[in-house]
Structure 1
């Protein structure tokens, strides 16, 4: 296995760095609505015990309680300072490393992880482990980034300050902490291999607009990963500064990295309220595979 010297939260995106919580929240503003719509369509609600892996500032955990009305959420992160700032009834916080051999917090109706596994090695092993934390009849929901800067097969992606810097960012993060989004499209296969059935997926691709949460997220992310980006030799400071200005200009016409969400249900068990193991499948099947751009 290829080894990398750094880790997320240590070499880049350190939680103690001023403004890191706000950077995470900009991403949440861009993606939380899509995430919550999917979790509720899968049936998340009263009676559900949920595990939120790599919970960050806890926006999904709190919305599961406040909006979906789930019974409890265990929010897990390697650094829980943002999670501990705002206690909420039903929200339990655990400081832990999901890659640790002894990580086993119990069994849950929902296991959710967003923008987590792409930063970790051994993704096939981790997906199998997370699937093992799902109780019979429950669901595993994984979301990670899909890089669109290289274009879709057969397409032409125009060269812009944004695309040049995004390519350098992905390479810099890979070199520094092992981030790898290249295997994210294999999620459906990996969930099926882990014994989940049925498996389905959707992708959300937000447009970049001046002042939007996703544009502010990327600008802040570039500033915090600038050293790793410059080390690739693909860009210099002038390029990064130009890309930040581009994001905030009316000339910006591009798509953000996509968020691929994949989910699968563990066979057996019953839904809360006594429904059979297929409950919620109609909603899942109806929404398999849409592409959202707004």
Structure 2
């Protein structure tokens, strides 16, 4: 679906980190993380959150897992372990982790609801799961015709490959159905354009060969998009990142009369 070129994928991952990490870290800092916690970072990408967790939990262990670990550096911390694995086939011992985090991962999995249920079993009693996924706004609602065309093509491409870019709306309820407590959620609007450095150029650039090959967009569309990004008056909101989290109930000891 997307180019496997290491440079374009690295650019995409770095762009996501620059634009989303501050929000993610703010959410993580709101949890009662202990230095001794064991953490699991699913879909670790270029590693920024795994590295942050390793520094935050120096007496614990952080496992960063991804299908492609080329962009991860296991030497960043002594308590960091990098695993190249398909999490849909991987299984961890129940109760292994005090914190599990995933960003932009579950929406791409074919059995995403079932996978969330599996992941909750990997939590230790009292452990937290936090999942962040994109909610794409309808392409037709963009005020810019070229963005309507590009986003429609982008969204259709992902849908054709099994992704669901609106699945996250049901995530809080899904966490509650899997017996997590203290379920909460927050949203982070994604900006396209404006004066800040845009994160969408690497995403669209990487997807462009497939979009062009399928006839979903034209070279003229890409040229118009690139020109728009240079215009400070171009500002659009293509998606909202919704983050939801919950806690596995702590086990209570049975009492005898």
Aligned counterpart in structure 2 of residue 218 of structure 1, from 200, 206, 209: 200
Q: What residue number does 1:103 align with?
A: 91
Q: What residue number does 1:280 align with?
A: none
Q: What residue number does 1:118 align with?
A: 107
On the 8 A contact 2:146/2:224 being kept in 1, the answer is yes
1:128 equivalent to 2:117? Answer: yes
1:184 equivalent to 2:168? Answer: yes
On the 8 A contact 2:35/2:56 being kept in 1, the answer is no
1:194 equivalent to 2:194? Answer: no
Q: Structure 2 unaligned segments of length 5 or more: list them.
A: 253-257
Distance 1:254 1:68 in 2: 38
**1:113 CA displacement:** 0.5
Aligned counterpart in structure 2 of residue 165 of structure 1, from 143, 150, 160: 150
Q: Find the residue that maps to 1:19 and give its secondary structure.
A: helix
User: How many positions carry a matched residue from both structures?
Assistant: 251
On the 8 A contact 2:194/2:235 being kept in 1, the answer is no
Pair 1:131–1:85, CA change in 2 (3 A): closer
Pair 1:23–1:113, CA change in 2 (3 A): same
1:38 equivalent to 2:23? Answer: no
Post-superposition, which runs of at least 4 consecutive aligned residues in structure 1 deviate over 4 A?
67-70, 231-234
Pair 1:85–1:162, CA change in 2 (3 A): farther
**1:268 CA displacement:** 1.2
Distance 2:155 2:45 in 1: 20
Aligned counterpart in structure 2 of residue 93 of structure 1, from 63, 82, 85: 82
Q: What residue number does 1:12 align with?
A: 2
Distance 1:248 1:210 in 2: 8
Higher strand residue share: 2
Aligned counterpart in structure 2 of residue 246 of structure 1, from 228, 247, 252: 228
Distance 2:204 2:145 in 1: 15
Q: What residue number does 2:53 align with?
A: 64
Pair 1:34–1:269, CA change in 2 (3 A): farther
TM-score computed with the length of structure 2 as normaliser: 0.88
Distance 1:69 1:165 in 2: 44
**What's the CA shift string for 1:192-234, capped at 9, x where partnerless?**
1111112111100133345634x2x311111211133235544
Q: What residue number does 1:23 align with?
A: 12
**What's the CA shift string for 1:94-150, capped at 9, x where partnerless?**
1110111x4226610001100011111111111101111111101110001011244
Pair 1:39–1:70, CA change in 2 (3 A): farther
